[in-house]
Amino acid sequence: MKRKQQQELVSLKDIRYVLLDMDGTLLDKHFDDYFWEHLLPEKYAEKNCISFGKAKDKLLNKYKMHEGTLNWTDIDFWSREVEIDIPALKAQIHHLIEVHPHVEDFLRMLRRHRKKVFLVTNAHYKVLEMKLRKTELGKYFDAALTSCEIGYPKEMLAFWEKAQKKLGFDREATLFVDDTEAVLTTAQQYGIRYILYKAIASSQSEKGASSKFPAIDDFGQLMFLDRKVKV
């Protein structure tokens, strides 16, 4: 389902459902970037008696092979693939899990206005549990849905078909925010009306950009949704 690539005026009263990604959108992606690009290559190098550079190159090639598939965020798959306990290793740096600025303010505002708020993530359920436990954000959501539960990653239309059946959102009255343009493109193709790109995914990386979707840097920019804004 194609939709014109343009911004439109929207107010909070036009939105009944809000779908939110987790990593990079609500949470600082620095935790994940540090884990996959530094900590795991370091441990992989030690285990296989190779240099850090060689270990990182090998792992980056492995990551690329599975990008956009269910394996991409399946930590049980990666535990088997690299023969390292990924959940245990992630737990060692759980202190790096941080919520982006103004996220809780935005979530509280949505609850005050009685919007249906859903977390939709490609993250593995074990990672989801760890992050919700650390951040205590779970209380703001009516439900949380993972790609491993659905059986498809968010990059595929089948995810959205199944997600709508499970969550019951109305595509014409739904706002979706994510930091991955490919995911937003699929959601738009499925017919979700209001799409926003989260440009600052990590506090330690450069700001992203989208040529297809309106973008926000910070959820503080959405705190005035009681007035009409372009989305």
What stretch of H or E contains 9? Answer: strand 9-10
User: Token digits for 88?
Assistant: 């245990």
Any bridge partners for residue 199, and if so which?
none
Q: How far apart are CA 17 and CA 183, in angstroms?
A: 18
Phi, psi of 32 (to 5 degrees): -70, -40
**Catalytically annotated residue among 14, 33, 76, 218:** 14
How many distinct helices (H) and strands (E) make up the chain? 10, 8
In angstroms, the CA 118 to CA 145 distance is 8
Q: Is 92 helix (H, G, I), strand (E, B) or coil?
A: helix
Whole-angstrom distance between the N-terminal and C-terminal Cα of the chain?
A: 19
- Judging by beta carbons within 10 Å of its beta carbon (0-12, 13-18, 19+), is residue 136 exposed, middle or buried? exposed
Contact 93, 31 (CB under 8 A): yes
105 given a catalytic annotation: no
Inter-residue contact 200 to 217 (CB < 8 Å): yes
Q: Which amino acid is at 209?
A: A
Active-site positions?
A: 14
